Amino acid sequence: MERNKCIDAGREGCPCALAACGQCLVCAKLRGETCQACSWQGVCIDTLYAQNGRQVVLSRRQQQFPIQEIKKYSEDFKVFVLQADRGFCQKAQTAGAYVFVKAEEDANWYDAPISVLKAEPETGLLHLGICRCGPKSSRILEAEHDLWVRGVYYNALSGLGSLQENAAEAFVYAKGIAMAPLRNFLDGGARYRQWLQHLRIFADLDKVGFDFFRDYFGDIPAEAVEVRDFAKEGLCSLDDLDHMEESDSVNVFALTSPYYAQLVERAAGSQVVRPVEGNMCCGEGICGACTCTDETGHTIRRCKWKD
């Protein structure tokens, strides 16, 4: 496993706070080692850090976005349509994009990571789906006028590196608001279309409902969609599961909870695209809430890890 993978390396906001404390995930020199230990092929991160006066680049600041519309699908699920700006929405229209959100009057520890549901650069509109699951989401659901947003971050999905270009088929297992990242794949044009040939979607609309699916995924051909109750009916038919496992040219997406994502990955027999597991609390690799330790004892910061 390579050690120098970082989703933010070379992007706006690099060098980040990890560089300042000598723990850059890419630059060996910033970790006190030699350049011989570095395989980074972009612009030298230590040089960028020096050019910035040995200061962190703070690009992801909190911004106050007015609420243009609230789509209420139930007491526990709403979509907030925010007036952002063209540049922000262009960044947000990326597979795996997410932002941190909090209500205007709340303290910073109330901000919660929310996958981007839809971004419209041409109008500057940002759509965020919020399901009630705890104190943070409950506070956001009470907002009426403005939301504070920090981002854009890019690592809400793992397994993107396993996708095959121009695979013969694409299977998507989607449940609840975890299906939100799918919209960016559909809106991403040629850069993502190659991964979605002959798309088939198995959707469990628990907690979000049919009206939401129609509003945000109604452009998908009806023959490509099968609505199922995963708990009662299973992920899909046994024939479909056998076909997925036997095919050597299929991309598989499990936009579900970790429980169902594990079932899909087991059925596929290989890595699938799935939401990153871990508690995303800062997005910068500092708080440690999302860290895990691999079989060699190496600590991985999931919010920074690129696979």
- Which of 274, 281, 271, 278 shows the shortest CA–CA distance to 300? 278
Task: Report the 10 Å Cβ neighbour count for 292.
Answer: 12
Residues 152, 164: Cα–Cα separation, whole Å = 26
Could you state, in order of their start, the residue ranges of all structural domains in the chain? 17-58+280-301, 62-153, 157-275
CATH number of 62-153: 2.40.30.10
Tell me which H or E stretch contains 165: none
Considering the four listed CATH numbers 3.40.50.720, 2.130.10.10, 3.40.50.80, 3.90.220.20, the one that applies to the domain covering 157-275 is: 3.40.50.80
> pLDDT (tens digit, 0 to 9) for every residue of the chain, 307 residues total?
455 578 888 887 788 888 888 888 888 888 888 888 787 888 888 888 888 888 887 768 899 999 999 999 999 999 999 999 999 999 999 999 999 999 988 888 889 999 999 999 999 999 999 999 989 999 999 999 999 999 899 989 999 988 988 888 899 999 999 999 999 999 987 888 889 989 999 999 999 999 999 999 999 999 999 999 999 998 876 667 666 666 678 899 999 999 999 999 888 888 899 998 777 888 888 888 888 887 787 788 888 887 7
Residue 149: the pLDDT is: 96
Structure tokens at 205: 């609309």
